[in-house]
C-alpha cells in the first residue's frame, strides 16, 4: 500500500490517574499489533484515537459525561501533551508526514492540528528532558528546516487530510495544504 498509517504516537499523554505519562508510546499497526498492559495504562484510549486521524471530532468517539472527562482533556492533560499520527502518503521517498493533535490552551476540550513534512522526530517534542508545548515544537521544526501547516481546526484538518474541498473563505489555503499533506492522492 502506498498510503497507510504507519504509527500512532502518544506524547506525554494522560493516564487514568489524570496525570501526564511523561513518556512517548508508539503503536505500529502495520502487519497487526497487540496492545498489552496493566489496567488503566491506556490500551483502550490508544485504540479509540485512530478515528481522530481521519478528522472525527473527539465527541463523536467518546461522549463526556457520567463521570468521564472530555476525550481531549483526558488524553492531552497539558500543553506539552500530543497525539501524533505518522503516515505515508505515496510511493516516493520523503512522502512521510506527521499529523499532530494538541489541545487549545484557552479551551482544553478543543483540539487543534498541525501537519509536519517529516516522520516522527523525538526532538520536536522533547528537549533537555522536558516535553515541549506547540510554540516550542514550532521553533524546533523551523530550526530543523521542517515545513508545517498553520494551526488547523477539526473541520479544516478534515478538509486537508481527506483532500475534500472546503467551503470556507480559507478554501484555497486548505487546498494548497492538501496538495502537500493529504492522506490520499
Quote the pTM value.
0.88
Nearest alpha carbon to residue 11 among 73, 82, 72, 65:
82
* Tens digits of pLDDT across the chain (185 residues): 578 889 999 999 887 667 888 889 888 777 666 776 666 656 666 677 777 887 877 655 555 555 566 777 878 889 999 999 999 987 776 689 999 999 988 877 889 999 999 999 999 999 999 999 999 999 999 999 999 999 999 999 999 999 999 888 999 999 999 999 999 77
Residue 108 in contact with residue 20, Cβ under 8 Å?
Answer: no
pLDDT of residue 68: 61
Give whole-number Cα distances, 155 to 99, 106, 113, 114, in Å. Answer: 14, 19, 10, 13
Give just the sign of the alpha carbon dihedral 144, 146, 151, 155.
negative
| Residue 89 to residue 110: CA distance in whole angstroms | 27
Residue 133 in contact with residue 80, Cβ under 8 Å?
Answer: yes
Nearest alpha carbon to residue 162 among 56, 58, 30:
56
pLDDT of residue 28: 79
Nearest alpha carbon to residue 83 among 107, 101, 97, 57:
101
Place of cell 508508539: 26
Amino acid at each position: 500500500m502506498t498510503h497507510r498509517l504507519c504509527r500512532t504516537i502518544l506524547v506525554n499523554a494522560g493516564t487514568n490517574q489524570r496525570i501526564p505519562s511523561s513518556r512517548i508510546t508508539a503503536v505500529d499497526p502495520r502487519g497487526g499489533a497487540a496492545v498489552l498492559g496493566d489496567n488503566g495504562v491506556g490500551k483502550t484510549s490508544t485504540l479509540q484515537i485512530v478515528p481522530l486521524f481521519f478528522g472525527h471530532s473527539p465527541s463523536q468517539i467518546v461522549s463526556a459525561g457520567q463521570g468521564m472527562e472530555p476525550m481531549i482533556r483526558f488524553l492531552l492533560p497539558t500543553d506539552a501533551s500530543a497525539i501524533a499520527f505518522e503516515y505515508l502518503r505515496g510511493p516516493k521517498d520523503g512522502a512521510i508526514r506527521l499529523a499532530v493533535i494538541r489541545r487549545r490552551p484557552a479551551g482544553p476540550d478543543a483540539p487543534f492540528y498541525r501537519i509536519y513534512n517529516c516522520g516522527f522526530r523525538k526532538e520536536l517534542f522533547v528537549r533537555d528532558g522536558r516535553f515541549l508545548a506547540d510554540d516550542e515544537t514550532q521553533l524546533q521544526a523551523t530550526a530543523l528546516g521542517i515545513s508545517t501547516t498553520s494551526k488547523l481546526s477539526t473541520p479544516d484538518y478534515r478538509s486537508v487530510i481527506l483532500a475534500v474541498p472546503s467551503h470556507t473563505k480559507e478554501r484555497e489555503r486548505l487546498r494548497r495544504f492538501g496538495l502537500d499533506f493529504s492522506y490520499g492522492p
